[in-house]
């Protein structure tokens, strides 16, 4: 089993993370580019480190650091076009906010719950005819002292999917508030004015000095456009979401605020605005399995301070609730141990955590005695997976493709275009049902491989193409396959698959693989 990320990717990651912490640009932002007492540095795309949804920039960075082909990115800035884009974004935001205030109206409740859960509209899922945020599991159905703060996106889906959205909202089983309704138009204008002013200042500064020299390499063609792009919506919406939640809390006076944003986009501005309320405890729950190679999880102690100095240091939650030991161990190197608790996965509370052999499903979909291979993809891992699979002998297998729901269209389109083998989409089956009938489970970055191994599927493998940066740790306990020859050997039982035991995997990634995380969470809320 491979024990570390390839040296080139590790080099790129380490150089970039260190530059973010020590960059003179960070200091420039702290002194000059801030909203109130929050440095806009924490809200930029360069600090967001999003190699999950947008891996291209990080691949370009890797090419630069490892003397591969130069990027074709254009770092020239057209000020006129910049401000046209900002004006269009401002106009769209105001129009959509007016629509929200007219058609997604406030609801008035007699009681004001103590505990507020931050919810994204896209995460509301149907569970027993109720729409709940799956990240919080069954606690949404059992605790009358909680409410949802629902964040609506500022895009046209609010209009086009109006009736669908309203149906979801009307079937939420707890009190809920649309946070956008607590935003004033004057705040929108102020945020766009301040960010535009800061963009002008930043452009002037970047024309004088190159801040993007990293490890003797000029990375300005990659990072400068990424930084500038932050001012066309990313920073504005981060600030607006934070202001909206601050206004909501000023009205309702919650005791706790819980989010699963961790340190992903917009989280830092939300923590900043809510930290103005001294009696409010901010709780962060671990929304996914932790990986050191997920750049958003690459936190550094130098980012944070126990003082409320948000010009020089990033805001952070008061309490961290982790799924497993691995993330717990990471966080305690950065924050006081007393702030971190393991509770497990809340999502398991609304899932069937056992798998049974589904012979009926097998008979229904699969004819003959061919072995079944299930392929679970994540965000962009399918790009590297198809290359390995295309060079392997797949002719004697029945292949089931299960793409990530948010990347379903892109994944299927790619497989239809590039895959040299026949595959099937069994949408009538859940992921666990697919696992139950599979002889082999193949995964890229997907965390479903942990669950497959825990649920008794010993023939679980990760496919890793070294051309791409992995979003999982290569020493995570699941056997890694890097090429087609090795894959064929594993599939033909010429090499034995050696994964960590379910017990160890549970401890590392889930704490306890049960349906009691919500009970552990409720006990923490009671103490607060």
Specify whether domain 359-509 bears CATH 1.20.1080.10: no
Q: How many CB atoms lie within 10 A of CB 155?
A: 12
Question: What's the gap between Cα 270 and its chain centre?
Answer: 16
Q: Residue 410, Cβ neighbours under 10 Å: how many?
A: 16
On the CB side of 172, CA atoms within 13 Å amount to 27
Among 243-257, 260-274, 363-377, 488-502, the range scoring the smallest mean pLDDT is 363-377
Give DSSP secondary structure letters for 334-373. TS-GGGEEE---GGGGGS-------HHHHHHH--SS-EEE
Query: Which residue ranges make up each domain of the chain?
Result: 359-509
Give the containing element (helix H, strand E) for 131: strand 130-133
Residue bearing the bigger pLDDT, 111 or 159: 159
Give the model's pLDDT for residue 237. Answer: 96
> What is the rounded CA–CA span in Å between residue 45 and residue 51?
10
Q: What is the DSSP letter of 305?
A: -
Residue 388 reports pLDDT greater than 90: yes
Task: Kindly report, residue by residue over 479-528, the tens digit of the pLDDT.
Answer: 999 999 999 999 998 899 999 999 999 999 999 999 999 999 999 998 88
Using pLDDT thresholds of 50, 70 and 90, give the confidence band for residue 357: low
Do the Cβ atoms of 269 and 295 come closer than 8 Å? no
Q: Give the C-alpha separation, 528 to 522, whole Å.
A: 10
pLDDT digits (tens, 9 = 90+) for 60-112: 999 999 877 655 555 566 777 888 989 999 999 999 999 999 999 877 887 77
Q: Which two tokens stand for residue 106?
A: 């406030």
Q: What is the pLDDT of residue 458?
A: 86
The yes-or-no verdict on residue 3 having pLDDT over 50 is: no
pLDDT, tens digit (0-9, with 9 covering 90-100), for 415-451:
999 999 999 998 888 888 899 899 999 999 998 999 9
- Can you say whether the dihedral through the CA atoms of 77, 82, 83, 86 is positive or negative? negative
Q: What is the pLDDT of residues 24-38, one digit of tens each?
A: 999 999 999 999 999
- The DSSP result for 437-502, as a single string, is H-SEEEESS-THHHHHHHTT---EEEE--TTS--SS-TTSSS-EE-SHHHHHHHHTTSS------H
Q: Show the tokens assigned to 67.
A: 């003397």
Contacts of 175 (CB under 8 A, 6+ apart): 107, 109, 111, 113, 147, 148
| Contact by Cβ (8 Å): 405, 123 | no
Distances (CA, A) of 201 to 31, 33, 194, 454: 12, 8, 11, 53
Q: What is the pLDDT of residues 174-184, one digit of tens each?
A: 999 999 999 99
Higher pLDDT, 266 or 281: 281
pLDDT of residue 76: 64
Kindly give the interhelix angle for 56-65 and 7-22, rounded to the nearest 10 degrees. 100
Backbone angles phi, psi at 373, to 5 degrees: -115, 120
- What confidence score (pLDDT) does residue 318 get? 96
Q: 333 versus 380: which is more confidently predicted?
A: 333
């Amino acid at each position: 089993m491979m024990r570390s990320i390839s040296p080139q990717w590790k080099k790129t990651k380490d150089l970039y993370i260190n530059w973010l912490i020590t960059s003179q640009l960070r200091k420039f932002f702290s002194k000059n580019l801030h909203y109130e007492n929050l440095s806009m540095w924490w809200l930029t795309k360069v600090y967001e480190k999003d190699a999950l949804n947008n891996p291209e920039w990080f691949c370009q960075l890797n090419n630069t650091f490892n003397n591969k082909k130069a990027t074709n990115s254009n770092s020239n800035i057209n000020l006129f076009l910049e401000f046209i884009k900002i004006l269009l974004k401002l106009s769209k935001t105001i129009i959509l906010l007016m629509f929200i205030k007219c058609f997604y109206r406030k609801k008035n409740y007699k009681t004001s719950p103590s505990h507020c859960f931050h919810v994204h509209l896209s995460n509301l899922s149907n569970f027993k005819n109720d729409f709940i945020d799956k990240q919080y599991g069954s606690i949404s159905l059992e605790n009358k002292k909680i409410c949802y703060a629902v964040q609506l996106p500022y895009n046209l889906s609010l209009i086009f999917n109006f009736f669908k959205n309203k149906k979801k909202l009307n079937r939420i089983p707890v009190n809920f508030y649309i946070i956008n309704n607590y935003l004033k138009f004057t705040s929108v204008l102020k945020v766009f004015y301040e960010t535009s002013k800061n963009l002008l200042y930043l452009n002037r500064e970047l024309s004088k000095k190159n801040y993007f020299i990293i490890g003797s390499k000029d990375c300005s063609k990659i990072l400068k456009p990424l930084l500038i792009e932050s001012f066309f919506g990313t920073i504005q919406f981060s600030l607006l979401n934070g202001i909206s939640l601050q206004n909501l809390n000023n009205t309702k006076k919650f005791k706790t605020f819980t989010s699963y944003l961790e340190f992903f986009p917009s989280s830092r501005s939300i923590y900043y605005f809510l930290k103005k309320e001294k009696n409010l405890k901010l709780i962060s729950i671990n929304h996914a399995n932790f990986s050191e190679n997920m750049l958003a999880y690459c936190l550094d102690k130098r980012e944070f301070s126990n003082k409320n100095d948000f010009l020089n240091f990033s805001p952070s939650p008061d309490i961290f609730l982790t799924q497993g030991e691995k993330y717990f161990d990471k966080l305690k190197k950065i924050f006081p141990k007393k702030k971190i608790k393991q509770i497990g996965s809340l999502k398991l509370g609304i899932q069937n955590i056992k798998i049974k052999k589904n012979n009926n499903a097998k008979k229904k979909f699969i004819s003959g005695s061919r072995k079944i291979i299930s392929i679970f993809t994540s965000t962009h891992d399918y790009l590297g997976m198809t290359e390995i699979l295309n060079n392997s002998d797949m002719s004697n297998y029945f292949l089931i493709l299960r793409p990530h729901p948010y990347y379903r269209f892109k994944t299927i389109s790619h497989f239809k275009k590039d895959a040299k083998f026949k595959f099937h989409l069994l949408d009538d089956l859940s992921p666990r049902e697919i696992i139950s009938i599979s002889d082999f489970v193949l995964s890229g970055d997907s965390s479903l491989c942990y669950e497959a191994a825990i649920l008794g599927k010993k023939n679980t493998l990760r496919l890793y193409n070294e051309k791409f940066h992995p979003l999982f740790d290569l020493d995570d306990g699941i056997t890694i396959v890097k090429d087609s020859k090795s894959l064929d050997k594993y599939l033909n039982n010429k090499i034995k698959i050696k994964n960590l035991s379910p017990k160890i995997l549970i401890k590392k990634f889930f704490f306890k693989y049960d349906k009691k995380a919500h009970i552990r969470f409720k006990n923490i809320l009671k103490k607060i």
